[in-house]
Amino acid sequence: MTSAALLHLDSGISPAGSVSRTLTARFAAAWRARHDGAARVRHHDLVADPVPAVRAAYADLGRRVERKGVLSLDDVAALVESPEEEREWVLTRSLIEELRAADTVLLGSPMYNFTVSTGLKAWIDRITFPGAYVDAGTGEKLLRDTRVVVVAARGGGYGPGTPREHFDFQIPYLRAWFGSLGVAEGNVHVVTAELTRVDDIPALDGLQSLAAESLARAEAAVDAIAAAV
């Protein structure tokens, strides 16, 4: 079996009892076992090791790059004009290279206030750098074959037909963002566990069986995807 690389990101702010973390750990273990010794796994905990928010120097460098068109990462580095820009680029380049090196990206994303966590958003903002996922020589999309597995946990119910379906700015956002980077739509797999706070929110009382069914479906989906990617 050829070597495979998994980038595993967790963004749940409460590790103890985290449904998203439990499911991503389940996926990672199954994926590692399937790939045996040929697997390379990079785990980035966006809570324990947060990505610094982008600063003005990041935007200054990004605008300069955009005026030049698509550049290699080395060519971007050559455009740095200040210590502040150097700091921003060093932080950014390592994360871009980490993403570009992955065959599979595993993302644990609990819903916070109808969208993603601040830690995940900081990572997204930093690695969304102009032209970083396009080959400077050929124009090809570098992430076109990358497989993405999003494990989304939501305290309430936001699935099709639910009263809060239109409050979901989490999964549509992540699908659109990965697509904007060049990931093929068919390569984005979403696993959803809903009603995860059924035991501590009084308004959800009585929905325990639905929560259990949702978790069971999520576990089955994680296992199936891990066996296929």
Q: Is 114 within any annotated ligand binding site?
A: yes
DSSP 103: S
Three-state DSSP at 107 gives strand
Is 118 exposed, middle or buried, given 0-12, 13-18 or 19+ CB atoms closer than 10 A?
A: middle
Q: Is 187 within any annotated ligand binding site?
A: no
Using N-to-C axis directions, what is the helix angle for 83-100 and 118-127, rounded to 10°?
100
Neighbours of 154 (CB within 10 A): 26
Q: Is 11 within any annotated ligand binding site?
A: no
Is 121 exposed, middle or buried, given 0-12, 13-18 or 19+ CB atoms closer than 10 A?
A: middle
* Residue 198, token pair as written in the block: 């059924």
Q: Is 20 within any annotated ligand binding site?
A: yes
Q: Is 70 within any annotated ligand binding site?
A: no
Q: Is 150 within any annotated ligand binding site?
A: no
CA-to-CA distance for 17 and 122, rounded, in angstroms? 23
Q: Give the 3-state DSSP-derived string for 117-155, with helices as H, strands as E and coil as C.
A: CHHHHHHHHHHCCCCCCECCCCCCECCCCCEEEEEEECC
Q: Is 19 within any annotated ligand binding site?
A: yes
Go through the chain and tell me how many residues it has: 229
Q: How many CA atoms lie within 13 A of 216 on its CB side?
A: 6
Binding positions for FMN:
18-20, 111-114
Binding positions:
18-20, 111-114
